[in-house]
Chain A
Amino acid sequence: MSTIAVPRRRAQVRAEGRTIDWRARYFNWFCGSVLLVFAAIWVIPLLWAVDTSLKPDAVIAAHPTDWWSGSWTFHAYTELFSIGNIQTWYLNSFVIATLSAVFAVVACSMAAFAIARTQFTGRRIIYGLIAAGLLIPPQVLIVPQFQEFNAAHLLNTYWVQVLPAVAVPIAVIIFVAFFTGIPASLAEAARVDGASWWHIYRRIYMPLSKPAISAVFIFTFVWKWNDFLWPLLTLTNTRIMTLPVGLSQVSSAFGIQYAEIMASAVLGALPLILVFLLFQRQIVEGIATTGIK
């Protein structure tokens, strides 16, 4: 009996294994094709923008939806650069985003270190106040903030962009979480050795916090680079505009010169796509661990 039963069971297992294998293969094939279709949908708008930007306006007017053009040209790009606004907008966006990110990292990490490692009186209240700030979206403050900067005569300056971007509650929360993960004994040992609190922050905790620093830096940078409503309200002078605000004026400036419009869009999209390519790991990990939006 047993001699018969054993081979049969084996055969059964093998057959089962094979059916599951086939099903899995079909399923994988199905997943792969669905992904490919969606990837195509996601790539097409960007490709189409690049494609349009490289065609002469006359060709676009005659055959607006043809992918292939007999004559390719960089004319739209050279024209944009010769007008010169786009370089100014790049520079403005870069200065504003960099200053905001640097100030935010410094101010938020210092406050977070004080909260996480020193026992100053009132730190619970302060931390609660900062956590409450998470609930206030900057968008609801545009009216009073505008009044504030208007009264201070700071509209159409870099400061109107940088100053409100320094104290970011979520950045403090991230740094506090990170600093609490570093053993407190490190700080205690350094205190026994007579190191100042500033020294412990600057020379011990900050060098150990590179992931948190890069997350806060990158996100503040990207946020300020892409910020639209606030700069739209406060930067009305073309020379001081950031890239997104400048781009919002482009379609009225170029009318139906679609190559120029798409070249502007491509130039607007390019810097952060490059940043993403360079810092893909940090950005993806940053999102996964913090969920900053």
Chain B
Amino acid sequence: MSTQTVTVDTGTRVRPATTGRRKRRGENRAGWGLATPFLVFYVLFLIGPTVYGIVMSFFNSSLQHSGLGGFAGPDNYTEALTSSDFWQSMWHTVLFTLLTTPPLVALALMLAIFTDRLSRGRWFYRLVFFAPYVIPSAAMALIWVWLYTPEIGLWDKWLTAIGISSPPNWLADPNWAMISVALATVWWTLGFNFVLYLAGLQEIPRELYEAASVDGASRWHQLRRITIPLLNRTTALVLVLQIIASLKIFDQIFLMTSGGPNYSTRPLLEYVYDIGFTDFRTGYAAAASMLYFLVILAVSLVWFFASRRPQRGA
């Protein structure tokens, strides 16, 4: 855009009231103008669908007919809350979160602390641990399904080599399927938390450690009294991001087990997918989505209010 011709009106200062108002109006218009493109998209594809989703959840909407369908009142919600399939998939989502969050936080912290101590070669570990995080879930699933293949997979070969003669039937055993997906997920996404922790560690002043070792504090002591407490803010962030990311589980399970065997791993998002796009019951699917949304919202709000208390820069 070409520059507006610079017209310094010497009279400006003489009539501050009118120009002030005009300036105000111009600024107002410019502000709204700049915000409009975003707001159009925001309303059309985020606020709109949210409102429509809430409305839909009170109707018998279906993919088979257009429009909302008959009014259902709270029926969709009572159906979901009394459906064992709904609760089962909710439990699988929570179980996956419980299985993945502790190792993804603790292991990332440990590896970051060890890497931070290195004088050389940090870039190598950052590359190795972070690289899997950027690959698409579908590529990751192809690789891990191959690794888990019974008898001819690499993991089974190694387990038999160290004397475990009958390794579990990883993805096909209902008792092991979720654990197998969780293990693959730890491999896949650890790098993100690792990088957050490395950044947190870099902000700890080295002089603190020097002062501590002059005072004779052991490494273990330094770790417990300096490193871990000073990483509290990072840990809070890593923890909440991890919990929310784990609650959104869909890709890996859909790709590696399709929710099976016999629905034993089906997470909530896949339940929504199944009822909405296989059974075409979009009204009920919207209600299930809203209940799921409340769970994620609760986690976000707990974190929001917990992290507000020690108010420091955003």
Question: A residues within 8 Å of B by Cβ?
Answer: 16, 20, 23-24, 27-28, 31-32, 34-35, 38-39, 41-46, 48-49, 52, 64-65, 106-108, 110-111, 113-115, 118-121, 123, 126, 129-130, 133-137, 139-148, 150-151, 163-164, 166-167, 169, 172, 177, 193-199, 201-203, 222, 225-226, 228-229, 232-233, 243-248, 250-251, 258, 261-262, 264-266, 268-269, 272-273, 275-277, 280, 284, 287-289, 291, 293
Contacts and interface: CB of A to CB of B under 8 A. Distances in A.
A203 to B, nearest CB: 8
22 contacts: A31-B117, A35-B125, A42-B128, A48-B147, A65-B157, A111-B34, A111-B37, A113-B34, A114-B31, A114-B33, A118-B28, A119-B31, A140-B290, A141-B289, A143-B285, A144-B49, A148-B49, A167-B38, A196-B30, A203-B1, A229-B250, A250-B138
Given A31-B114, A32-B118, A228-B251, A107 B41 contact: yes
Given A119-B27, A144-B52, A244-B136, A164 B45 contact: yes
B37 A106 contact: yes
Contacts of B129: 38-39, 42
B176 interface: no
Interface string B151-194: 01110010000000000000000000000000000010010100
Given A45-B143, A46-B143, A291-B196, A137 B293 contact: yes
B32 interface: yes
B309 to A, nearest CB: 18
A128 to B, nearest CB: 13
Contacts of B30: 114, 118, 120, 196-198
Interface stretch (B84-92, B224-232, B237-245): B237-245
A243 B147 contact: no
Given A31-B117, A114-B30, A144 B3 contact: no
B81 interface: no
B195 A288 contact: yes
Contacts of A146: 276-277, 282
A141 B130 contact: no
Nearest to B138: A247
Interface residues of B, number: 109
Interface in B16-48: 24, 26-35, 37-39, 41-42, 44-48
A42 B86 CA distance: 35
